[in-house]
Amino acid sequence: MTQRTPLVAILVFVSVTSASVFAQAPEPPPTTPPPDRNPILYVFQNLIRDFKRMPTVETAVTLGIGGGLALAVHPADDYVTEHATAGGPRQPYILGSAIGSGWAQIGLAVGTYTTGVIAHQRPMAHFGADLVSAQAINGVITQATKFAVRRERPDSSGGSYSFPSGHTSSTFATAAVAWRHFGWKVGAPAVAVGVWVGASRVQLKRHFMSDVVFGAAVGTAAGRTVTIGHGARKVTMGPTVVPGGGALTFTLVQN
C-alpha cells in the first residue's frame, strides 16, 4: 500500500456509485423560478420537496455501497494516515481542503442562485437552487452522522467529529448536481475536484480514509436526490462473476 491509497479508494467509490449519481442523463432544466415567485420562498419550497423524497431505494443503495466500502478500507485507516501525512502538509492539498470547505461550497451554491435570479438567467437559477438544496440536505445528514458515530479525528484536534468528512460530502454533492445538469464534460472535472478534496483531508490528517469514502457517498446521495427527473436514461446495476472473484456491472437503459 502506498501514499496514493486514499486516491485509489475514492476513485473506486466513484466508479461503483456511478449507478446512483449519474443514473439519468441531463436535460434542459425547466423554466424556474417563475417571474412572480419570491426567490427565497422558491428555494425553501424546493428544499422541503427534496427532503421528502430523500428516502428512496437509490439513496439506500448509494449509502449502502459507500458504507460497505468505508468498512472495507477501515482496517487500513491508521496505516494510510501515517504514510499519507509523512513530510507534513503539502500546498496542493491545503488548497484542495480550502475548496471543499463549507464556506466555499455553500457560497458557490448561494452565489450561483443569486446571480441567476438577478441576471434573469433561469437555468442558472435552477442550477443554483439545486446546489442550495443539495448542500442543505448534505449538511443535515453529515452532521447527524457525525454526532451519532462520534469518531475522533486522526490529529486529535477536537471540535467537529471525523466521520464522515464534511468537506468531501459537500464537494461530491456539488459534483453530482453539476453532472446531472450539464453532463460528464462538467461533471467529470467536478468529481475530480471531489477526489482531490478527499485526498487533501487525509493528507492533512483531518480525516481517515473511511471518513472520506463515506463522505463521498453522502454527498452523492444528496446531489442525486435534488436532481431526480433530469433526463430519461437510467443505469441498472447487477452482480456478475468474473475470473477470480465478482464485480458489479452497469447497463445504460434508453427509455
CA-CA distance, 164 to 186, in Å (whole number)? 25
The string of pLDDT tens digits covering residues 3-38 is 444 444 444 444 444 434 444 444 444 444 444 456
- Domains in the chain (CATH in brackets) are 5-254 (1.20.144)
Q: Which residue has 452565489 as its cell numbers?
A: 111
pLDDT of residue 158: 65
Share above pLDDT 90 across residues of the chain, in percent, rounded to a whole number? 47
Grid coordinates standing for 115? 446571480
Main-chain phi, psi angles of 245, to 5 degrees: 165, -150
For the chain, the C-alpha Rg in angstroms (whole number) is 18
DSSP assignments along 146-172, one per residue? HHHH-PPPTT---SS--SS-HHHHHHH
**Selected residue with higher pLDDT from 47 and 164:** 164
Q: Which residue has 449538511 as its cell numbers?
A: 139
Q: Indicate the range of 24-38, 82-96, 160-174 predicted with least confidence.
A: 24-38
Give the residue from 32, 17, 11, 10 showing the smallest Cα distance to 181.
32
Query: Which residues are registered as beta bridge partners of 252?
Result: 235
pLDDT of residue 243: 53
pLDDT of residue 248: 43
**Selected residue with higher pLDDT from 242 and 183:** 183
Query: What's the whole-number mean pLDDT along residues 71-93?
Result: 87
The string of pLDDT tens digits covering residues 39-60 is 677 777 878 888 888 888 888 8
Share above pLDDT 70 across residues of the chain, in percent, rounded to a whole number? 73
Give Cβ neighbours of residue 148 (< 8 Å, ≥ 6 apart): none
CB atoms within 10 A of CB 216: 34
CB–CB of 33/117 below 8 Å?
A: yes
Query: What's the whole-number mean pLDDT along residues 73-95?
Result: 87
Query: What's the whole-number mean pLDDT along residues 57-81?
Result: 90
In this predicted structure, the answer to whether residue 229 has a pLDDT above a threshold of 90 is no
Grid coordinates standing for 71? 468498512
In this predicted structure, the answer to whether residue 234 has a pLDDT above a threshold of 80 is no
Residues 232, 228, 120, CA angle at the centre, nearest 5°?
100
Grid coordinates standing for 63? 449509502
Give 74's pLDDT tier (boundaries 50, 70, 90): very high
Query: What's the whole-number mean pLDDT along residues 108-116?
Result: 94
